[in-house]
Chain A
Amino acid sequence: MAKMGMVFDLKACIGCNACVVACKQENSLPDGVFFTRTLSYEHGTYPNTRRTYIPTICNQCEDAPCEKVCPSGATFTREDGIVMVDRDKCIGCSSCAVACPYDMRTMLDKDMFEKGLFGTGELTPFEKQGYERFTPGTSVKCDFCSQRVDAGLDPACVSTCPTNARIFGDLDDPNSAPSKLIRDRDGRQPLPEKGTKPKVYYVD
């Protein structure tokens, strides 16, 4: 059984945010909704300071707290390990949002779909067709672009990354690119102490 996961190479990430834009475009995300964010972190003491970019995304946890707390069964895990949300079952209780230690859930508000990308109140044809996939009042999150994965493609953020800072693949396959990176460069999971077993790793 495949276990799809992702590795972020912190040495390679330059903070260009191309992944963020590609994600918004691929998923037609409305104003204020991000499935991935590239966070910046300044550390060190002057004059020896550095800025590191830390991409974040839904970690598709093996022991997903969002799935456990969901009272309607809207959140579920596919056979390949991708955690999905069934928008027709979601009741909008936000319990998944408060249960996610990574703050990677977003509740869709009706207002998000009314302003439009240009703030004029008129939706472009791109927005009109893209917004059909969303239901206001429900919860959304990254699903590794499951529609692309099903078609044998990488998620949009991975395909777009100009520095190969995002590596996607099957973590159950010891010869896959992410598995090798995790093994060779001591990959670490975000907030392992939360016990969620993320399928996203960081190497630096």
Chain B
Amino acid sequence: MIALLTGMLATAVLAGGVLALAALGEVLAERAGVTNLGVEGLMALGAVTAVMTVSSIHSPWAGLLAAILVGAAGGMVFAFGAVVMRANQVLCGLATTFMGLGLSTAMGHDYAGQPVGTTFGHVSVPLLSSLPVIGPAVFGQNILIIPIYVLMPLAVHFIMFRTRHGLNIRAVGENPAAADAAGIAVMPVRLWYVTLGGAMAGMAGGYLTLAYVPVWSEGMVAGRGWIALALVIFAGYRPVIVTLSALLFGLVTALSFVGQAHNWPIDPAFLNMLPYLGTMAFIIVPVVVWHRMRRVMAAPAALGQPYYREIR
């Protein structure tokens, strides 16, 4: 029983990391008022870039860095359309996803199905990793777990809610006209935070192939980008909660693995549906059950709206 729990938690932590990274990046973009629907495509680009990089430079760090850079570049392309040119955000996001999915498959054609040689190996934190259940799951995994679940969300939370700069970001997302009047440069804030969000989506893709599923195949991102987008809504655009819900979501994924490993009398196809069904339940049930939560968890007021200074 303990072994089962440990295994499930370990899988949950590992699987949730992909979602936590992508969702945290999206929180940054959406707090600044931009919905980036390109996350799925940027993750695919990051995943394939990581695989291609480590096949020539045998270092997972190099792979991760390349994935981050590609994600940032893709995020910038999206931001060019959606923020600089102020084109429709939904369209630019979908276009980014199409380009990302298409390009990643074309680029990774020669790498498909080959195991990735260099990945982030297990690191055991002394003492902590011998804790029951939690130890192996949290402190006995790859070195990225602590940054993903602790350092990055806390850093984003601190910047967002405890600094002047964070107030500026939120102002840009809530009321760009007022922010502009107060002397905050709306477009640069949006541009940089969308780019940063893209970098984190790319990192999520890199983490996917370098730490979670060490093989590139077409369609391996499998909607994780969209699930991350849904988690952002579920978590009410809050960095710490979004990370925790990614972990909760990792548990749903782990459940389907456990089911397959223990030969539950359910077809694997249905177990594989669990993450998607879970996400649907995640974003529908709370608003139906707790009506009052809607105001607390509401989206930034200017989310999805381009800002035109001349017609404010």
B partners with A:
no
